[in-house]
Amino acid sequence: MRVAHLTYDMRIGGTEKVIANIIESCANSTCTHQILCLEQPLGPFGTELKKHGIDIFEWNRKPSFDVSLILKLRKHIKQHDIDILHCHQYTPWSYGALACIGLATKVIFTEHGRFYPDSSSSKRRFINPLLNFFTSAVTAISSATKHALVDFEYLPQKDILVIYNGIKPLRYEPVDKDNMEQLREHHNIGQNTLTLGTVARLDPIKNHSLMIDATAQLIKKGFDLHLIIVGDGEMRHSLEQQIEELDISKYVTLTGYKTHPKNYLQLFDVFLLTSFSEGTSMTLLEALSLAIPTIVTDVGGNPEIIDNNKHGLVINNDDLNGLTKAIQTLSDANTRERMSSAAKEHFDSYFTDSVMVENYMKLYIALKP
């Protein structure tokens, strides 16, 4: 079975990680996979997959709607005899569905998340049912994402299947303890300091400023804590300014982008995800796999992943008071230990890469022409 994954590019993000996980987990199956990118440059995830022999094809999509790209995709799909075209996100779906009209190739559309605030257009009210007619399956990475497709994209609820994201579980290695101690020393973090952290691009939608404000409030109250933010992006300068204005530079670390952030994750006593909007956060799943208690906002797929007061705490969106109270709650070691065990068990049952890939493989097999 020949499967092609159609996406924007293979830079760094949850969608790209899902594609990589599907391909890597299917290495010994009867499927062959390739990746089709609408845009350039390819990105680090794609470069890594290429090194391992995965075929990746790139185009340079023109501004607005590029009709010529539909023809290029159609030619490629026919030449490579693609059985399944798995389109990741809305724009790739619109190109992929149109490119496959009249072909035996089956089209899958996966919505990986919605942007805050969500919106739609009257144009999509007419276009999307047409695209859906030429699509064999639609999947969403959470129930919240599924409902957004119904409310904002006018797709029938009965046609949408929920398949949660899954990842390879991160594991502690003997060498990790030494690495963690080096990081503690490097960032002047005490052994008894409550370490808060997140791993996410520095984008307005992630609302890092909320966790910085909460840290400042708790420092003033005398709490011994340190906030680590792993990632880079357009908000870096403004976040640095905020940290300086609040005079908490020695309590907050901005690491920049890290290719392999596991050592930082393992430092965290509590993982924070304060986004305005989320689908299924891959770094949240990584935190669960390491049995780290979490605090998340009540948006998107977050409350589907985190059962409040069981695997972590769920707060209202953009709620500074709620976040500071939640951090105070998890400053208690016994509470963290209770949630830690539940988090790991929950991850193993629902959010491993093997569970996700099994669900997609069932779909591929059911649709194979």
Please give the pLDDT value at position 175.
66
Q: How far apart are CA 316 and CA 198, in angstroms?
A: 18
Beta bridge partners, 37, equal 7, 58
Contact between 136 and 108 (Cβ < 8 Å): yes
In 3-state terms, what secondary structure has residue 254?
Answer: strand
Please give the pLDDT value at position 261.
87
Q: Is residue 45 scored above 90 in pLDDT?
A: no
**9, 16, 115, 263 from 233: Cα distances, Å:** 17, 17, 17, 21
State pLDDT tens for residues 214-227: 999 999 999 999 99
**9, 90, 281 from 202: Cα distances, Å:** 19, 23, 14
Share of the chain above pLDDT 70, in %: 99
Q: How far apart are CA 174 and CA 167, in angstroms?
A: 22
Q: Is residue 64 scored above 70 in pLDDT?
A: yes
Residue 313 has which token pair? 């705490």
Q: What is the mean pLDDT of residues 297-306?
A: 93
Q: What is the mean pLDDT of residues 273-289?
A: 91
Laid out side by side, the sheet with 106-111 consists of 55-58, 32-37, 2-7, 84-88, 106-111, 137-140, 160-162
Q: What is the mean pLDDT of residues 40-64?
A: 90
DSSP state of 61: P
Please give the pLDDT value at position 94.
97
Q: Is residue 359 scored above 90 in pLDDT?
A: yes
Q: Is residue 327 scored above 90 in pLDDT?
A: yes
Q: What is the DSSP string of 93-125?
A: HHHHHHHTTTSS-EEEEEE---PSSP---HHHH
Least confident of 110-114, 240-244, 321-325: 110-114
- Per the prediction, the chain carries an average pLDDT of 93
Please give the pLDDT value at position 279.
81
Beta bridge partners, 228, equal 197, 253
Residues 6 or more apart whose Cβ sits within 8 Å of residue 300 = 113, 114, 142, 144, 145, 275, 277, 278, 279, 280
Q: What is the mean pLDDT of residues 200-227?
A: 96
Alpha helix (H) residue ranges in 9-99 = 14-25, 44-51, 67-79, 90-99
Q: What is the mean pLDDT of residues 63-77?
A: 95
Please give the pLDDT value at position 25.
80
Please give the pLDDT value at position 310.
93
Q: How far apart are CA 66 and CA 210, in angstroms?
A: 39
State pLDDT tens for residues 165-178: 998 888 877 667 77
Residues 6 or more apart whose Cβ sits within 8 Å of residue 67 = none
